[in-house]
Amino acid sequence: MIVSQLKDFKCPNCGGRLEFDPKTQKMKCPYCDGTFDPEIFEEGEDYTVTSDTWEDDDAIVYTCRSCGGQIIADKDTAAGSCPYCGNPVVMTGNVSGIYRPKKVIPFLLDKKQAKERYRQFLKGKPLLPDAFKEESTIDEIKGIYVPFWLFGGKANARMWFDATRTRHWNEGEYMCTETSYYKLFRSGSVRFADVPVDASGKIDDLLTESIEPFDVSEAREFSDNYLAGYYADKYDISAEDSVAKANSRIANSTSSLFSSTTGMYETCVPSSSSITINEGRQDYVMYPVWLLNVKYAGKIYSFAMNGQTGKFVGELPTDKGKLIKIVLSVFFGVSAAMSILQYVLYMVG
Ligand SMILES: [Zn+2]
Ligand SMILES: [Zn+2]
């Protein structure tokens, strides 16, 4: 038996279900067009759902208050919608206590814009299988708030470099070269803030890193109102388990920053370094991502768009069947032309 909290967002005017609208940055009712400020809207109410666990312990069954339908969700799900009536719901137990994000960057780009950007991405790729172009596929694109840890800290670094400088001159009939070798040393400290690490094990880190950066100065104080109409998972990778990754990002940046101060040499390679990171701290935030997974020929192709900036990434296959068809039609085209030529020759002959 699991007791969980569910929340939905009823329109105070008409009782319709509100969703967060990226265009107006307000909560909007699709029925009466009423809009409400997400920072002060408090009409949504929690209600307790008691449910049996579903087969294993990983799924929870919620009952939709709007239509009575069953919403089956993963235990990590923090926001979703009823599959029967579309009622947006937030699993408040997954965005409270240690799971409550400090900040959220609300979606700035809506589903229509995400679909448009995907279509642009497909343009000029005639060999693309139809599976990627069907409207029913494109409509599956989902707005997901991805949990992130933002790390900050101070990197104290000491770095040594091996550098050379050369000089050329002519002495009578000889050309002389003089190479000087230098041992360079740099030390100092660099402060870092808001270094992001994907806190969701379900979404490929490479995908989320490819759509960075997010402008965290635009983040708002977290309210579950922003999640209305979107999907969200709580973090399943803890801050402790993300520290190593954050530190390696910080160390890489520090190293390239220090390298950039060694300009006047012909060659300059780091020979050794010691970087320690102190005063580490982390914040839990949610970032907006439009995500589309397309299954094709036994493989899943993922596309992601930064819901704030529109930066888009994805990988496309080429359809071998289509390629063969095009090659064949060219080949048949040529042989048809040849037989016409033969026919003309024959006629002339
Ligand atoms: Zn309304
Ligand atoms: Zn429902």
Task: Please report, for the chain, the start and end positions of each structural domain, with discontinuous segments joined by +.
Answer: 1-100, 144-216+232-314, 319-349
Pairing of strands 299-306, 267-296: antiparallel
Q: What is the pLDDT of residue 205?
A: 87
Q: Which of 107, 116, 102 is nearest to 25 (CA)?
A: 107
| 15 CA to centre of ligand 1 in angstroms | 6
For residue 85, which ligand has an atom nearest its CA? 2
Binning the chain into helix, strand and coil, the percentages to the nearest 5 are 25, 40, 30
Output the 3-class SS for 216-243: HHHCEECCHHHHCCCEEECCCCCHHHHH
Q: What is the pLDDT of residue 47?
A: 63
Rounded CA-CA distance 62/5 in Å is: 9
Which residues are within 5 Å of ligand 2 (an ion), measured at CB? Answer: 64, 66-67, 69, 82, 84-85, 87
For residue 8, which ligand has an atom nearest its CA? 2
For residue 63, which ligand has an atom nearest its CA? 2
Among left, alpha and beta (phi > 0; psi -120 to 50; other), residue 92 is: alpha
For residue 33, which ligand has an atom nearest its CA? 1
Q: What is the pLDDT of residue 62?
A: 83
Q: What is the pLDDT of residue 349?
A: 35
| 174 CA to centre of ligand 2 in angstroms | 89
User: 257: helix, coil or strand?
Assistant: helix
Residues 6+ apart with CB under 8 A from 107: 20, 22, 143, 226, 230, 288, 307, 308
| 16 CA to centre of ligand 2 in angstroms | 12
Question: What is the mean pLDDT of each successive set of 10 residues along the chain, which is 349 residues long?
Answer: 74 91 95 92 66 62 85 89 90 91 97 96 85 92 96 92 93 93 92 93 89 94 95 94 90 87 86 88 96 91 95 80 52 46 39
| 30 CA to centre of ligand 1 in angstroms | 7
| 12 CA to centre of ligand 1 in angstroms | 7
User: 150: helix, coil or strand?
Assistant: strand
| 17 CA to centre of ligand 1 in angstroms | 7
For residue 10, which ligand has an atom nearest its CA? 1
User: 191: helix, coil or strand?
Assistant: strand
| 63 CA to centre of ligand 2 in angstroms | 8
91 strand-pairing partners? 6
Q: What is the pLDDT of residue 347?
A: 40
